Amino acid sequence: MLSAFQDLIYASGFVHLTLGHLVMWLIAFVLLYLAIKKQYEPLLLLPIAFGILVVNLPITHLMEPNEGLIWRFYQYGIKWEVIPPLIFLGLGAMTDFGPVIANPRVLLLGGGAQAGVFGAYFVALLLGFDLKEAASIAIIGGADGPTSIYLASKLAPHLLGPVAVAAYSYMALVPIVQPPVMRLLTTEAERKIVMRKLRPVSKLEKIVFPIITAIVIMLMVPASAALVAMFMLGNLFKESGVVGRLTNTAQNELMNIVTILLGISVGATMTAEVFLQPSILKIFLLGLIAFIIATAAGILLAKLMNLFLKEKINPLIGAAGVSAVPMAARVAHKMGTQANRQNYLLMHAMGPNVAGVIGTVVAASILLTFLN
Amino acid sequence: MTDWSLAVQIFITGLLGVFFVMMALQISIQLSSVVIRYMEKPREKAKSEG
């Protein structure tokens, strides 16, 4: 009887708890607090945090290869590259590319911000990460969660968890990280630049946009195919106006289901052994560096473009090339309004903001082309 | 051991590659908008007159 009871105790998780597990619980609790109380990107951060908690409960075997429930989500959803493209389908169905079509120059601003990715890439190499790890970390600078997860899962799966947490944390911190950089790199006069109202965009233009974008980008960067195809398909659903049911599903049920599976799978990769390494601090530092460089690059590119443009761009919208949609656009708009109350920059800033999503996918695909 | 020549290649090609892809996309979108607005002009004109 006593030995049976002893066996039961030894079969429990309590006996196998380590200090590392407890530290990971603490991290999970902090992330849950940020998600629930502070509402930092709760849609992803909450399942990620819970995934971290449950995977660090010993001998639950949730991530046991070929057996664990969450392993199956991870293997068939992320390793098989199914979930990130489906998230892009939903994102495409929710994105309005009108501001980009009305002012296509902002595509360059969306691309310019990707300098944050390549700048952070170099710094990551200098800090001792290898080529694939550096690319997986640097993509945080694109401020696009699904793309970061997609790239990290292919190039450095052992860094997937910290990269995802860093990406979503910094996306939530955009209103704190960006403004000092924006103030430093722009003058009061530049922040006051008023941009003319965007021209109206016809339905046909909005229908043609995803078709042309898919053709151009997938021909030039074939490695982008999975993400770009789904992104543009979702957008075509929305803009065609003839598949309301599919659009609704892509925007709502599908998006919600894959978000749940993605979040918990990513969180469950963060075991104590993987996460409690000195290199994790470097990842968070590099994420911050990437965001700062991306913000600066977008603003400086806008200022450079202004040298050649008759109708000036308010350089604040360059910072919105960091594709944290719509937060970065709101930050640019708020700073513009603070400088000049009559300035309404939100729709102008949405242009580079959504263009940045395309830019980040292109940057990730170029990295994949070289490194995969 | 980091392959620095590959790293520099990736850095330069990546920056330029993103720039050229976005520029190609910008030109394509602008061209398509010009064509579409030209095609829609008679319809818009008829609508405003009607």
Q: For residue A216, is pLDDT > 90?
A: yes
From the number of C-beta atoms within 10 Å of its C-beta (0-12, 13-18, 19+), residue A285 rates as middle
Indicate the number of domains in chain A: 1
pLDDT in tens, A2-43: 888 888 888 888 889 999 999 999 999 999 999 999 998 899
Q: What is the pLDDT of residue A171?
A: 87
* Per-residue confidence band for B50, with pLDDT thresholds at 50, 70 and 90: low
Give the orientation angle of helix A255-267 with respect to helix A42-55, to 10 degrees: 40
Asked if the structure places residue A335 within a domain, the reply is yes
Q: What are phi and psi of A35, to 5 degrees?
A: -70, -45
Query: Which residues fall within 8 angstroms of residue A268, CB to CB, at 6 or more apart?
Result: A51, A52, A54, A55, A62, A63, A70, A71, A73, A74
> Are residues B19 and A111, on separate chains, in Cβ contact within 8 Å?
yes
Asked if the structure places residue A179 within a domain, the reply is yes
Rounded Cα distance, A56 and A249, in Å: 34
- Ramachandran assignment for A197, one of left (phi > 0), alpha (psi -120 to 50 degrees), beta (any other): beta
- Indicate the pTM of the whole model: 0.91
Nearest in space to A142 (alpha carbons), one of A158, A108, A118, A107: A118
Of chain A, the percentage scoring pLDDT greater than 70 comes to 100
Domain boundaries, chain B: 24-50
* Average pLDDT score, chain A: 93
- Give the containing element (helix H, strand E) for A33: helix A19-36
Pick B14's closest partner by Cβ from A205, A216, A366: A366
Separation in Å, CA of B49 to nearest CA in chain A:
19
Q: What are phi and psi of A144, to 5 degrees?
A: -125, 105
Nearest in space to A163 (alpha carbons), one of A267, A50, A77: A267
> Are residues A220 and B24, on separate chains, in Cβ contact within 8 Å?
yes
Give B32's contacts in chain A (Cβ within 8 Å).
205, 208-209, 212
Pick A107's closest partner by Cβ from B6, B17, B25: B25
Asked if the structure places residue A264 within a domain, the reply is yes
Separation in Å, CA of B46 to nearest CA in chain A:
16
Separation in Å, CA of B41 to nearest CA in chain A:
11
Instruction: Please identify which residue in the block is written with the tokens 């109350």.
Output: A341
Separation in Å, CA of A95 to nearest CA in chain B:
17
Return residues 99-128 of A near B (CB < 8 Å): 100-101, 104-105, 107-108, 110-112, 114-115, 117-118, 121-122, 125
Asked if the structure places residue A226 within a domain, the reply is yes
pLDDT in tens, B3-47: 888 889 999 999 999 999 999 999 999 999 999 999 998 887 887
Nearest in space to A50 (alpha carbons), one of A71, A19, A29: A29
Rounded Cα distance, A189 and A173, in Å: 27
Asked if the structure places residue A177 within a domain, the reply is yes
Give the orientation angle of helix A145-155 with respect to helix A131-138, to 10 degrees: 170
A278 cis-preceded (ω within 30 degrees of 0):
no
Q: What is the pLDDT of residue B1?
A: 73
Rounded Cα distance, A196 and A343, in Å: 9
pLDDT in tens, A223-260: 999 999 999 999 999 999 999 999 999 999 999 999 99
CB A243 within 8 A of CB A237: yes
Q: For residue A179, is pLDDT > 90?
A: yes
The widest CA-to-CA distance across chain B, in whole angstroms, is: 73
Buried b (16+ CB within 10 A) or exposed e, A263-280: bbbbbbbbbbebbeeebb
- What is the average per-residue pLDDT within A187-195? 93
- What is the average per-residue pLDDT within A215-225? 96
For residue A324, what are its two tokens?
């944290």
Q: For residue A287, is pLDDT > 90?
A: yes
Asked if the structure places residue A22 within a domain, the reply is no
Q: For residue B2, is pLDDT > 80?
A: no
* Per-residue confidence band for A308, with pLDDT thresholds at 50, 70 and 90: very high
Domain that holds residue A266: 81-371
> Are residues A111 and B22, on separate chains, in Cβ contact within 8 Å?
yes
> Are residues A204 and B36, on separate chains, in Cβ contact within 8 Å?
yes
- Partner B contacted by A321 (CB < 8 A): no
> Are residues A358 and B22, on separate chains, in Cβ contact within 8 Å?
yes
Q: What is the pLDDT of residue A121?
A: 94
Nearest in space to A51 (alpha carbons), one of A168, A145, A165, A140: A165
Rounded Cα distance, A218 and A225, in Å: 5
Q: For residue A358, is pLDDT > 90?
A: yes
> Are residues B29 and A209, on separate chains, in Cβ contact within 8 Å?
yes
- What is the average per-residue pLDDT within A120-132? 93
Among A204, A207, A219, A309, the residue to mutate for chain B (most B Cβ within 10 A): A204
pLDDT in tens, A62-96: 999 999 999 999 999 998 999 999 999 999 999 99
Nearest in space to A314 (alpha carbons), one of A294, A329, A293: A329
Give B30's contacts in chain A (Cβ within 8 Å).
104
pLDDT in tens, A127-149: 999 999 999 999 999 989 999 99
**Residue of A326 and B29 predicted with greater confidence:** B29
Asked if the structure places residue A117 within a domain, the reply is yes
* Per-residue confidence band for A155, with pLDDT thresholds at 50, 70 and 90: very high
Out of A4-8, A151-155, A207-211, A362-366, least confident range: A4-8
Of chain A, the percentage scoring pLDDT greater than 90 comes to 85
- Partner B contacted by A222 (CB < 8 A): no
Give A367's contacts in chain B (Cβ within 8 Å).
10, 14
